[in-house]
Amino acid sequence: MPRRIPIQVTQTVSRLLEGGYLKKPPAWYETTLRHPPALVPPRQSRERPDSDLPRSLQSDTRRNVALQDRSQLNTRKKLRSQLPPLRPQPIVYDSDRIRRQFFRDHPWEAKRVSTLVEMDYELEASPEPTIPSGETPELFHWNRLNPSVEDVIQCTLRTSQETELSLSQAYRRTIAAYHAIQAEREHRIRYATYEARSLGADLGRSETERGFVKEQRELDKWASVARKDATTLQTDQPVAAGKLARKKRIGGSFTDGQAYLKTASDVSSGQTSSPPAPSAPERAADATESDNFLGVANALR
């Protein structure tokens, strides 16, 4: 049997008795159970002080003292960090949501002419239409001919308040009425124009005709510029011919450096050499050639 720690001997005998290896317990078994042997110093467990234990395992006295000694400022910072950030919530109105969605669906409505200057009279909000009780608000209650975005907003809000429809459902219902009124207005304007022209009215040029006029005006500008360039090119042709006629003045005789050597030997011997006097024909040729320096005279004739 291997060497055991004294406290483990009783545990080993207990397992052997339970397994049936020992038929009856030893004489010292009961005594060791009542009075277990002491542990050797290296095996003795040492109790940890409260200051070394986690807060959940500390005694109540130690925990209370630690909480009292704790900085309240640190606790407030930690609580504040655990709370959601306290920021002002955005202020959103239903009318702004409807207006934003309307201009997203109908961007051309932003080009409609509107008055932004206050007149002498006081600007008042459009009067609320009188709608019979029990009747669903319709867009034609606000404007039958040409409803604006504000009419659509007021009708949508009124429909959502007086019926069980949500804001999006009320908006779709109002937009359907808006499209019907705009289609009716377009047909009315088109057939009124046909009738006026059939009776002889002159309504001026259409947008397409005005576009054709502007296009023709630009084409005429390009044609005039092209004609001016062609005229300038024709007037510059004699100058170009004169440039081609220019030539370099180079002597026709080549002495292979003998004239230079003869002049150098004459200078070294003290003799002065003067060029021979030119004859009359040569003098006339030189005068003509000096007048026609670089061919300018021929170009100017």
Check: pTM over 0.85? Answer yes or no. no
Residue 15 lies in a domain: yes
Q: Quickly tell me which residue has 């907003």 as its tokens.
A: 153
Final residue in a domain of this structure, among 206, 226, 246: 226
DSSP annotation of 59 reads -
Domain holding 158, by residue range, is 93-110+126-226
Per-residue pLDDT of the chain (301 residues; tens, 9 = 90+): 566 677 788 888 999 999 888 888 899 988 988 888 877 777 677 777 777 777 777 777 666 666 666 666 666 777 777 777 788 888 999 999 999 999 999 999 888 877 777 665 555 556 678 888 888 889 888 888 889 899 999 999 999 988 888 999 999 999 999 999 999 999 999 999 999 989 988 888 888 999 999 999 999 999 988 888 777 766 655 555 555 555 544 555 667 778 878 888 887 777 655 555 555 555 555 555 555 544 444 544 5
- The single-letter code of the amino acid at 37 is P
Q: How far is CA 125 from CA 60, 83, 152, 170, 218, in A?
A: 70, 44, 14, 22, 48
Examine residue 138 and state whether it is found in any structural domain, yes or no: yes
Structural domain contains residue 145? yes
- Is the residue at 278 inside a domain? no
Structurally, how many domains does the chain consist of? 2
Same domain, 130 and 209: yes
